Amino acid sequence: MVCENYSSLGDGEYLLLLSLGVGFHHLNLQSECIKAKLIPTEHHQELANIVFESKSGEAIADLLCTWTSESDSHQPYTSLNICAKHLIGLHHLYPFSSRLRKFIIYAICLIDFEEFKQVGVKGFVGLLDDLQVCVEDLYHRDKWIRLLLDTVQSPEGIQYLSLPYRELLVELVSSSPWTLEDSTYSPHTMTSLKEAEEWNKLECWMGIVWMAWPPEEGETTEEDLRHITLLLFHQLSGTIQTLERWIEKWNYGYGQIPESFQRICKQAHDGSAQQVRP
């Protein structure tokens, strides 16, 4: 397929080397030829189709390995976007080999979230569940923060993203506060979780809200957060201590503890003391 169209491709040499490397599992990532900045064409789409439809975990890992290696600038490599629909259909290869799992996890954060939205966030969340990603697996943690933040604020993500990934997002945010600049706040997420009485998921989300969009930053109002936070404290035992622990960790990462958060925690602690006072 590549050879037939070779003369019409501006990057035909690199595409030919890539297809040969994938086909024969002889990828040499030290080769400068592999680091070509390919412009996605219908031929790249066809190559991806052939590789993924082969159902060969090694060939798929080769393709992902090559295309992720081209992301030296730490910017999403657009050829990987072609793979989004294929990645969420890899259930037949589960459980993944360690090599395939590694490159799927690496590729995910380099793919635009809009691509996963187009093919279905529910399927994307299912892929995450299969991968069971933990913080030790992650490259480009800032990209994972934004990816999970977009996921949890999407309509399907609110419903389907599992608690471990919400906890992972809190862990990442609390240790990297600078990655939250220019992030977008959706009040619908907080409201939906409250109405669904998903208290554990709401606990994670409120931790993120206090770190990313405290009232002092003008994204939310103190009254909104005060009401929901106090309700959460009442519904879920130990939430006061959990949120305080997260915020303290975030503070050590050069975040600044919001004064409004301190006031609400003081109000909650005072209320608890009055309840146990004889």
Same domain for 196 and 242, yes or no, is yes
Per-residue pLDDT at 78: 65
Residue pLDDT, tens place only, 69-98? 755 444 445 678 889 999 999 988 999 999
Helix axes 187-195, 199-212, angle to 10 degrees: 160
Same domain for 166 and 242, yes or no, is yes
Same domain for 266 and 164, yes or no, is yes
Per-residue pLDDT at 19: 74
Q: Would the pTM of this model clear 0.75, i.e. be above it? A: yes
d(CA 88, CA 69): 21
Q: 162 burial class (0-12, 13-18, 19+ CB within 10 angstroms)?
A: middle
The residue among 211, 203, 197 whose CA lies nearest residue 253 is: 211
In a domain, 93, yes or no: yes
Same domain for 161 and 66, yes or no, is no
Residue pLDDT, tens place only, 222-243? 888 899 999 999 999 999 999 9
Taking phi over 0 as left and psi of -120 to 50 as alpha, with beta for the rest, 74 belongs to left
Bond prior to 278 in cis (omega within 30° of 0)? no
Q: Are 204 and 163 in contact (CB under 8 A)?
A: yes
Q: 70-95 burial, b for 16+ CB within 10 Å, e for fewer?
A: bbeeeebbbbbbbbbbbbbebeebee
In a domain, 67, yes or no: yes
End-to-end CA distance of the chain: 82
Same domain for 122 and 155, yes or no, is no
The residue among 156, 163, 165 whose CA lies nearest residue 122 is: 156
Per-residue pLDDT at 10: 63
Q: Which residues of the chain have pLDDT under 70?
A: 1-14, 17, 20-41, 43, 70-78, 272-278
Same domain for 62 and 169, yes or no, is no
In a domain, 145, yes or no: no
d(CA 33, CA 16): 10
Q: Which domain holds residue 21?
A: 1-132
Per-residue pLDDT at 74: 43
Per-residue pLDDT at 273: 47
Q: How many CA atoms lie within 13 A of 73 on its CB side?
A: 7
